[in-house]
Amino acid sequence: MLTQWIFLVSSVILISAESNTERIFEGHSVPISEIPWQASLHRNGKHTCDAVIYSDRIVITAAHCIPTDNNTEITIRVGSSMSNSGGQVVNVSKIQIHEGFGQSLSNDIAVIRLQSHLQMGVNVKSIPLANSSPKPESFASVSGWGPVGCHQTESNSLLETKVNIVDLNSCQKTYGQGLTMLQDYGLWGGDKESVDRA
């Protein structure tokens, strides 16, 4: 079970890019039926972050996506390839941010309880949990909405790309000890070329 949670957390971090800072490179449009656990977190009606469906009442995202003020309305859109239309929009009843979350990306996870149950189906499913660790040089999917490429052209269509899983030692040799994003989980995505393009 711990392995499943570790990779669920890693998956959330890989796909929970806040739209004003993270970008997808060399991605392609994908129908929601291929990634039915993908969710869009909206602040005051506008897509700002990605999330994943854990169950019909629980969605998980990155803690840095959660506003600190109480004046922001947060809703979740599921079941649509578009971040701004279609699918189901559900209100949030409670948000629990990891107690160890701070300014670094360590413990960057938040669990969101929805006010009502999601209507599960072909386009709305729980994220599958991993039963084993991914092997270095295998591929992971990265998906989401928001800015694309160097010029940060906004995309309202769901995009997906693949990145290589890199072992921790190789990653530290390439980027040094300053990496914190997934260090606690032992999972690294991308390669020097894909990060350098960013």
Question: pLDDT for 123-176, tens place per residue?
Answer: 999 999 888 888 888 888 889 987 776 666 778 999 998 888 888 777 777 766
Q: What is the pTM of this model?
A: 0.77
Give residue 169's identity as a one-letter amino acid code.
N
Assigned domain for 78 exists:
yes
**Model pLDDT, residue 149:** 66
Assigned domain for 138 exists:
no
Band of residue 40 on the pLDDT scale cut at 50, 70, 90:
very high
Question: What is the total count of domains within the chain?
Answer: 1
- The answer, yes or no, to whether residue 192 has pLDDT greater than 60, is no
Assigned domain for 86 exists:
yes
Residue 23 to residue 64: CA distance in whole angstroms = 16
Beta-carbon contacts of 115 under 8 Å, excluding residues fewer than 6 positions away, are 90, 91, 92, 93
Domain enclosing residue 91, as ranges:
8-19+32-114
Assigned domain for 41 exists:
yes
Looking at every residue in the chain, the average pLDDT score rounds to 78
Angle at 89 between CA 108 and CA 121, to 5 degrees: 95
pLDDT digits (tens, 9 = 90+) for 94-127: 999 998 888 666 788 999 999 999 999 999 999 9
Beta-carbon contacts of 137 under 8 Å, excluding residues fewer than 6 positions away, are 164, 165, 166
- Please tell me the least confidently modeled range out of 32-41, 148-157, 183-192: 183-192
Assigned domain for 196 exists:
no
List, in sequence order, every residue forming a beta bridge with 24; answer none if it has no partner: 148
H-state helical runs in the chain: 2-15, 168-175, 192-197
Assigned domain for 101 exists:
yes
CATH number for the domain spanning 44: value is 2.40.10.10
Residue 38 to residue 198: CA distance in whole angstroms = 23
Assigned domain for 110 exists:
yes
3 state SS for 27-75: CEECCHHHCCCEEEEEECCEEEEEEEECCCCEEEECHHHCCCCCCCCEE
Assigned domain for 3 exists:
no
161 or 22, greater pLDDT: 161
**Model pLDDT, residue 3:** 41
Percent pLDDT > 70 in the chain is 70
